[in-house]
Every structure is written in C-alpha cells, then in structure tokens.
Amino acid sequence: MKSIFFIACLLTTNLHAQTTLQFDKRFLDSEDKWVAFEANKEGAHSFGFIYIDAQAGLTLNYEGTFTISPSGEFIPAKKENAIMKVRLQPNNVLVAFIPESKFSELQIEAIPEWLQNYKRDTNSVSRLYRWGFLYNGWEECEKALTYLEKANQINPAFKGLAVELAFSYNCLGQYSKAVSVLQIALQQDPKDAYTNKELIYAQIRSGDLDKAAVSCKNAINICTDVTFHGENCYNLLHELYLKKDKANFNLWIAETKKWNAGKENIMSSIEIMNKELNQ
C-alpha cells in the first residue's frame, strides 16, 4: 500500500514538473515575454527575455539556465556575468512562457529595468512604422497593421508608410484598401517602382485587369527602376490566362517575355500558357 502511494506521489510531482511549461509559443508571439527553451540532455532549460530592437529586430536577452525539481521548483544555475544578446529569426522553434509565479524562483523581474531603453517614443510615427515593417517582413501582416494604421492616423505622409500599409492590406486580401492608399502615395511619387508593383498586384487580385494593364504600362513607361517589370507583366499575363482572355493575353505575351528574358522557369511557364490558350 505504501509502495502504491509513493508511486502515485512520484507520478504527480513528475507530471507537475512536465506541465508547468508549455512549449507552444513562437518567437513572434513572445515579444516582451520571459521564455524558456526545451531542456537539454542534462535537463537544463535555457531562458531569457524576448524583445524587439529597432535595428536588430527580434532579440533574446539570454539570462542563463534552470532545472526543475521533482516538486516543480525552478532552480536557476549560477548567473553568468557576461551579457548575451541573440538575434532571433522567425522559425519553427517553440518556447514556453515562464509563469509569473516562477519569477521569484528565477530571481527575475516581470519587466527588466533595461527594457525601458527600448521603449522610448513607443507612439512615434517612426517607431510604429518600424515595428510594422518588421512584422510585415516576418509575414505577420495582421499584427503589422496594428502599428501601421496607428502611424497612418498620426502622419499619413510619413516616408514609406503608405506602401508598407498597402503591403499589409494586400497580404490580408484587403485589396480595395491597398488600392486607395497606393493611389494617394503615387500622387506624391508616381515613379516609385515598388509602389507601382503593389498597386498592380492589388488591382490584379481584385479582378480589375483593365486598370492593372493601364498601371502596368504606366510603370514600364515612367519607372527608371525596372526591377519589377517582369513580375508585374507575368502576374498580369497569368491572370489573363486563368480568365481565358486570349485577346489580351496575346497583347501582353511579347512584353512579358521581354522583361523576363533569361528567367528559364518563367519563360517555360509562359510558353506552356501560350500553347494551352492558343491551341
């Protein structure tokens, strides 16, 4: 009977130790959070504080390691004096949020004192724009939009804001909003190649192919930066192919080939579409 009771207690404490940490959070979900990583073969968890540095992006302030006792207590290893900051890339690594009830055991504060150095001007347009830019780059467009729309309310003329805002809208399928923002941006800088690209993309995705064709021709005529001409033409041509618009497809095929010369995969795709549509 005593043996059964002892085993039951052991299972309970081990289960408690295992379930205290839930490794189900991405780095991108962990801004301003204390996090722990999966234990190594010695049973030690690395841990630290994740925050965003305006220049470096997502960053881990490494704090050290800890182990979990059978009773569930977090036991930190002796802290290292050297400060280690690790730049993080969004990936499939999952971390666990450290429960606030364990902060005292790890000898950490809920909000590190040094974090204030990274929280200045949190409501400035430049800061909001930068955070939106970073989250767009991580393909977290919905979160990016929360920053960019705030920035837009303060100063819609801030350099680069309109096209970044439009990128979020396009990413989320809100094409009419993207078109509205980009048309205003192009009034200020009609020759910006990237702004034109985003407009053409939004018009194509919203099904307005006639306007997309006009925008594509305009971009080719006025943009000195030719980086996106091939992409713009191909996106339009592909949509015309899907719509089985043979007449307009044939009008755009030569231009599309011109700007995609040397791109073997693209040229092969063009030939396949042409053969299928004109057979």
Q: Can you list the residues of the chain whose pLDDT is less than 50?
A: 1-19
- Residue 25 in tokens: 């959070």
Residues 6+ apart with CB under 8 A from 252: 213, 233, 236, 237, 240
Tokens of 220: 């080719």
pLDDT at residue 177, rounded to an integer: 96
Measured between alpha carbons, how far is residue 226 from residues 149, 197, 258, 275 in Å? 30, 11, 12, 28
Q: Name all domains of the chain by residue range, CATH numbers in brackets.
A: 2-118 (no CATH), 125-278 (1.25.40.10)
The whole-model pTM stands at: 0.78
What pLDDT was estimated at residue 121?
84
Backbone angles phi, psi at 125, to 5 degrees: -60, -45
pLDDT of residue 7: 38
CB 52 within 8 A of CB 127: no
Encode burial over 222-257: b for 16+ CB neighbours within 10 A, e otherwise. ebeeeebbbbbbbbbbbbbbeeeeeebbeebbebbb
Q: At what angle do helices 246-259 and 264-278 cross, to 10 degrees?
A: 160
